[in-house]
């Protein structure tokens, strides 16, 4: 009888983490930024059917990178969680913090008990009555949660793009300037000339605090082109 192959718990966790990080890094980046009237989401995504950015509840949105089938299952579970909680208690009881905690438990359980971790990274965002009341949570493949402020970049070359965002973002920017910054950052390669991503290749959405109930709306077509054209290009 052959001896079973032994791997230390530390090495097993490291291998799972490396596997998940490589899968996430293969995808195109998603950028999330606060602006004066809400929270904006942008990514390069030519598909009109397979969304990386979606509405969860009245004032809560979801953005993800990684394997589509895995984060789509998480999105559906989040919608069910929000609907059930809102129906059982009150719509005001559904918040991004509770949803982020539920996702963290799922991601952490899969990471520690399953043979393969989920190759996903998520942002759960809730728009408040003011910029100070906005909530943005970033969740990693292992279930860790980070409370973010200002901007977030996931997937692709997130670290490099985060440095570019830090140079250009500041509190209180209007929507047009925030989207212009997001598109410029997404179109900046590690080497070579920057490119301007056309509106038809972008997936853009916002949580607009000025809307009365459902804050989420997608921006596409002429509306998006007008916003991107409102800022003079250098």
Establish if 37 belongs to a structural domain.
Answer: yes
Q: Is residue 81 part of a domain?
A: yes
Task: Quote the pLDDT of residue 212.
Answer: 87
Q: Which residue, among 22, 67, 17, 29, has the nearest Cα to 157 in the 3D structure?
A: 29
Residue 195 vs residues 45, 183, 187, 205: alpha-carbon distances, Å: 15, 9, 5, 21
Instruction: Please report whether residue 3 resides in a domain.
Output: no
- Residues 67-101 have pLDDT tens digits of 999 999 999 999 999 999 999 999 989 999 999 99
Give pLDDT tens digits along the chain (234 positions). Answer: 555 667 788 888 899 999 999 999 988 999 999 999 999 999 999 888 899 999 999 999 999 999 999 999 999 999 999 999 999 999 989 999 999 999 999 999 999 999 899 999 999 999 999 999 999 999 999 999 999 999 999 988 899 999 999 999 999 999 999 999 999 999 988 887 888 899 999 999 999 999 988 999 999 989 999 998 877 665
CATH of the domain at 152: 3.60.20.10
Domain encompassing residue 112: 27-230
pLDDT at 5: 67
Task: Pick the closest to residue 166 from 180, 153, 157, 147 (CA basis).
Answer: 153
**CA gyration radius, the chain:** 19
Question: What pLDDT does 211 receive?
Answer: 92
pLDDT digits (tens, 9 = 90+) for 119-145: 999 999 999 999 999 999 999 999 999
Does any domain span residue 18? no
Round to whole Å and give the CA distance between 224 and 93: 33
**Number of domains within the chain:** 1
Q: Is residue 10 part of a domain?
A: no
Q: Has residue 60 been placed in a domain?
A: yes
Question: So what's the pLDDT on residue 203?
Answer: 96
The answer as to whether 17 is a domain residue is no
User: Domain for residue 142, yes or no?
Assistant: yes
* pLDDT at 156 (0 to 100): 84
44's CB contacts (< 8 A; 6+ apart) are 28, 29, 186, 187, 197, 201, 202, 203
Phi and psi torsions of 56, nearest 5°: -105, -45
C-alpha torsion 105→111→115→118, nearest 10: 90
């Amino acid at each position: 009888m052959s001896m079973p192959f032994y791997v230390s718990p530390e090495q097993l966790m490291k291998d799972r983490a490396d596997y998940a990080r490589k899968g996430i890094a293969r995808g195109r980046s998603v950028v999330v930024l606060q602006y004066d009237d809400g929270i904006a989401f942008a990514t390069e995504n030519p598909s009109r059917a397979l969304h990386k950015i979606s509405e969860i509840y009245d004032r809560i949105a979801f953005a993800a990178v990684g394997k589509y089938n895995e984060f789509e299952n998480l999105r559906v579970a989040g919608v069910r969680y929000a609907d059930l909680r809102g129906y059982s208690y009150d719509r005001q009881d559904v918040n991004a913090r509770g949803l982020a905690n539920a996702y963290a438990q799922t991601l952490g359980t899969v990471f520690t008990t399953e043979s393969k971790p989920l190759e996903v990274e998520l942002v759960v965002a809730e728009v408040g009555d003011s910029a100070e009341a906005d909530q943005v949570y970033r969740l990693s493949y292992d279930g860790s949660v980070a409370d973010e402020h200002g901007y977030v970049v996931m997937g692709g070359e997130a670290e490099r793009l985060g440095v570019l965002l830090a140079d250009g973002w500041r509190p209180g920017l209007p929507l047009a300037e925030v989207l212009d910054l997001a598109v410029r950052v997404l179109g900046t390669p590690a080497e070579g000339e920057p490119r301007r991503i056309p509106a038809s290749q972008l997936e853009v959405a916002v949580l607009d605090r000025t809307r009365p109930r459902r804050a989420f709306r997608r921006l596409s077509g002429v509306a998006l082109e007008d916003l991107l054209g409102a800022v003079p290009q250098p």
